[in-house]
Amino acid sequence: MKILNGAQLQLIDQLTIQRQGISSWELMERAALKAVEAMESDFGEGLQELPIVIICGKGNNGGDGLAIGRILGEQGYNVEVKLLHSENYSPDNLINQQKLGAKEMFTLDDDLKLPASGLLIDCLFGSGLHSELGISWVNIIRRINGFGGPVVSIDMPSGLLTDRLIDSGAPMVHADKVYTFQVPKLNLLLPAYGYAVGGFTVLDIGLDTQALDEAEGAYHYTVAEDVAGLLRPRSRFSHKGTFGHACLIGGSEGKMGAVVMSARASLRSGCGLLTAVVPQIGHPILQSTVPEAMLSVDSGKLQLEEFSNNGNFQAFGVGIGMGKGESTVRGFSKWMQDLKSQARIILDADALNILSEHADLLKFLPRQTILTPHPKELQRLIGEWSDDYEKIEMAKTFARAHGVILLIKGAHTAIIDEDGSCYFNSTGNPGMATGGSGDVLTGIICSLLAQGYVPLEAAKLGVFIHGLTADLAKEKFGEISMLPTDLIDFLPMAFEKLKPRSYLA
Ligand SMILES: NC(=O)C1=CN([C@@H]2O[C@H](COP(=O)(O)OP(=O)(O)OC[C@H]3O[C@@H](n4cnc5c(N)ncnc54)[C@H](OP(=O)(O)O)[C@@H]3O)[C@@H](O)[C@H]2O)[C@H](O)CC1
Ligand SMILES: [K+]
């Protein structure tokens, strides 16, 4: 799914109106109906009990609010609409004012009266905001943010631009939930504005698909439909050789669990064979916990030294639980220098930290190696940034300079390809913030690489599946108690969910 900005959406609106032979008011009505449906589904019967207050501005976002107010009122909800006084309402806003009838007018100087609790729907500004809000908006935004119940924003939290940097002190609605139309907007995905976006749902309002397909942009949001098609069916005549031999290299004293989790995640993700290269201390641990894995035991006792690399492996996953002791750094450097240029590799954890401290090794990375830093590891690799926009630009420059794929872990993990495209993930939840989640991800992606998925596909599919396991685990264990090992247990269900349905049951 593409991520688009306000100007692009305005153009696509126009094309939709022309090609579908509808009026702009009808499109607004569609959007309002979708928003009402989404609220009914999210709030359930509770919505009937709540006083609902809708705050509307002068543009089409306000027009949506007026339409939502009318629809909710017709359905018997307890709804109150407040409209900002203006000299220049948008035409569809005016039509919806007439259709609604009763509403309360207010100005920015008024001390807006709000119910003590209930639901507040914020329709002051949407994608038409052209710059951050000035001081005159502080009062109204403060009232909204101080509301005693949930605040939902239509399309955007009012005050947040779609895809440009904005001062964090600027007046901005802090939404518990955003219902955004047709496509996500970049600022809904960036950590910098996390405080204003409790969560968001994309509502399909049926904009012209050709116009959406043709819209240009480097930013994408990976949803199930984007990755389901990547998953390859298994032929009846396939055998273990068909699905590749993955090699995981890692582990050190006290950190063998990382390799165990990575190995189990690899096997559950479908590779045909798996070898783990571990220090001697890992031998009994791996053999007893992951009997399916073959072992190549290193000469190092407590940490890796030799990095023997004799097998015919289709993919390597390196760094999990590895540590960065002197002999490990030496062995890893040598291993890097001996790599074939077409090797498929994913590097994680200490492998990344070693690269940060030995930048001379970067030149040995085969093209399209996947690096999976969390924000701190990224900072060590590419340097400090001053904001999320600079971070993305610096990451793109790094990916281009070294011909690698950067996978920046976090809420909406971002995959940055060397051509500058950027893919934000849609699955996952804060329950994944436990040590070991990353080891599971490395195992999944290494397995997909071994099966012949090209690196960008393996990264997108792996990140999506990994997040999906967490969403499934959340239903059973909740965000607080879920563990990385639970993610592995939900891999079979996640793959099944994504698999294209067969016509024959
Ligand atoms: N395809 C869709 O997604 C659809 C979206 N819809 C809804 O329409 C809005 C976008 O509506 P638009 O009228 O373009 O914009 P807004 O309602 O967000 O706001 C426009 C008014 O805001 C004023 N403005 C802009 N920036 C500022 C600012 N910094 N300070 C003060 N005022 C500002 C601007 O006034 P100007 O006179 O300054 O130009 C506009 O009047 C979208 O978000 C959806 O909610 C459709 O309903 C259906 C299709
Ligand atoms: K809004």
C-beta 56 within 6 A of ligand 1: no
Arithmetic mean of pLDDT over the chain: 95
The total number of structural domains that make up the chain:
2
Whether residue 68 sits in one domain with residue 149: yes
Whether residue 153 sits in one domain with residue 41: yes
319 labelled ligand-binding = no
Atom of ligand 1 nearest to the CA of 154: 45
Give the lowest-confidence range in 109-118, 354-363, 480-489: 109-118
Whether residue 231 sits in one domain with residue 155: no
Residues 6+ apart with CB under 8 A from 195: 174
pLDDT reported for residue 376: 95
Q: What is the CA radius of gyration of the chain?
A: 26
Atom of ligand 1 nearest to the CA of 123: 45
pLDDT reported for residue 504: 53
Whether residue 231 sits in one domain with residue 212: no
Point out which residues pair with 312 in neighbouring strands. Answer: none
Q: The domain spanning residue 173 has which CATH number?
A: 3.40.50.10260
Distance 44 CA to ligand 1 centre (A): 29
pLDDT tens-digit readout, 67-93: 999 999 999 999 999 999 999 999 999
C-beta 27 within 6 A of ligand 1: yes
Whether residue 399 sits in one domain with residue 301: yes
Q: Is 503 within a domain?
A: no
Of 185, 216, 247, which residue sits at a domain end?
216
pLDDT tens-digit readout, 204-234: 999 999 999 999 999 999 999 999 999 988 8
C-beta 58 within 6 A of ligand 1: yes
Residue 441 has pLDDT above 80, yes or no: yes
Whether residue 290 sits in one domain with residue 179: no
Atom of ligand 1 nearest to the CA of 57: 17
C-beta 89 within 6 A of ligand 1: no
Which pLDDT band holds residue 505 (cuts at 50, 70, 90)?
very low
pLDDT tens-digit readout, 28-81: 999 999 999 999 999 988 888 889 999 999 999 999 999 999 999 999 999 999
Whether residue 128 sits in one domain with residue 29: yes
Distance 55 CA to ligand 1 centre (A): 14
Give the lowest-confidence range in 204-208, 256-260, 309-313, 341-345: 309-313
Residue 236 has pLDDT above 90, yes or no: no
Q: Is 221 within a domain?
A: no
pLDDT tens-digit readout, 147-197: 999 999 999 999 999 999 998 789 999 999 999 999 999 999 999 999 999
Distance 106 CA to ligand 2 centre (A): 17
Range of the domain at 173: 6-216
Residue 429 has pLDDT above 80, yes or no: yes
One-letter-per-residue 3-state SS of 299-339: CCCCECCCCCCCCCCCEEEECCCCCCCHHHHHHHHHHHHCC
Q: Is 222 within a domain?
A: no
Query: Could you give the C-alpha distances from 44 to 66, 175, 308, 429, in angstroms and in order?
Result: 22, 19, 58, 22
Q: Closest Cα to residue 490, out of 415, 410, 428, 425?
A: 428
The residue to mutate among 155, 160, 205, having the most atoms of ligand 1 within 8 angstroms of its beta carbon, is 155
Q: Is 328 within a domain?
A: yes
Q: Closest Cα to residue 243, out of 234, 231, 256, 255?
A: 234
Please give the residue that has the higher pLDDT: either 479 or 504.
479
C-beta 490 within 6 A of ligand 1: no
The residue to mutate among 22, 181, 201, having the most atoms of ligand 1 within 8 angstroms of its beta carbon, is 181
Whether residue 235 sits in one domain with residue 160: no
pLDDT reported for residue 308: 83
Whether residue 312 sits in one domain with residue 390: yes
**CA–CA separation, 413 and 430 (whole Å):** 12
Atom of ligand 1 nearest to the CA of 58: 41
